[in-house]
Structure 1
């Protein structure tokens, strides 16, 4: 099984939603070379490209700008396979969030989630994908409507409330956001995140089953191990640099992966990239994250990224983004 693919259930649910909003089901499936009979085979998978094309085609056929919101709303936990069943088996919402943090890459390989908790709330932050599945706004619609729908499904409660923060302007179909996710939605925020009051964290999902949870967690561990084993060198280098945040040299990184620098360069060239390209990408990603924090100055950000001279960091940031770090902070 290719873990870069998606369950066929995603296509089946999307076809149902699109048909509800006026699309011709057969025309939609035919556009991405999916047979109607394939939807009944739980072992079938669809590629990332097929899912992307299916959503784009569905939006065109329905002329429904909020289609990704509706798609996320209808993505049931069982559609997510073993991770969905693991979430359903959790004893509390807190445990389900912890599980999502650990295994979310089984759903979307390149997504980045982080959780922050204080005495009043838990916040789950969603970071922009390096390569969006659809587009940043559509990806957020799919993700956040899916999370809220899943929590309601876990608890069998429609009165679940939370706060949603999104880093883009309110779209024309903002009323659909509020209808599906509540009124506490804030646009033009610094980050994209969901904030959940602590009162919900001890709520018990109706399907809680600790015995089954252990079994599903073992399966998730196996799938995650398979994914990491099949990951290309570029992704492994990226993860290594982000985790260490010490920005090792080419030689040090090659040694970490038990290769000569020559072999290391050749392996990356085979994946159509280079160590410098990966290093720049990681530094840019972290720079934008640090600069969004009002407590971190441009000077401090440069130091965190391994730049001994802030002017060198400034030149690099302009090369990456087209604007200076100070301008980036000003726009925030």
Structure 2
């Protein structure tokens, strides 16, 4: 009964958030920009699609045993459905990851195995994002492009980039040397106690996976890193099609920065306004001040987003109709 209530509530929240998203899109402007970019939009969709495939391959390697009779295509659809739900859900990735576990249950894979794979994949997705931001950020700070940034902000950026660069290295050193991790769950505030327990679950799942399946762990890390690297080419292509050519590694730094800014607005449906703010900040830091370019990037990305949202809903109805069986 509780699960049914949760599903109905989640469906209503997603639907209302989707309506808010649609209401904040200038469809005429989007269609105009799509017409201007023409068939080049297909390259952007292909690039993002390839990035999603790489992320799916990363998730597939997070299972100790691959779900029976579940192809990479089915995992791709399930993952994309979860990410789409997460996009239009105030709980963000929590609601999206829950949907993934629900859709994978009919495969006959144990619930704990599914949950662990989702937690591990989410963890690796985040630290590979840190890795790419750190690597591309170090390049940016040592290049001539940082001249557009005030000295005080540059100092803060140095701290952030070095921190993000070091976090994945420190984590893997800890994972290699530590036994079972324990996170204190005796905090006085209930909300923090729940958070600490969830952190403990994630870290213990990652630790066990790394100790028992080190090759799979590093292979998953590699796929997730490629996922971010390829996905960041979208920004490079949009600028290229708009007549602006920048180094690919700069576009990757900018894209990672935009995604990090977006994460602070994860509770906002589709990060309305937050993504546009991220575009403006990172483009300005690279010396691109033209308002028209900010607008073009926002509209093209919304166009791509609409395509993959539609695909996500079609995939959901396709899986519900066809089903996945063990």
TM-score, normalized by length of structure 1?
0.26
Larger Rg: 1
TM-score, normalized by length of structure 2?
0.27
The structure in which a higher percent of residues are helix is 2
The structure in which a higher percent of residues are strand is 1
Higher relative contact order (CA 8 A, sep 6+): 2
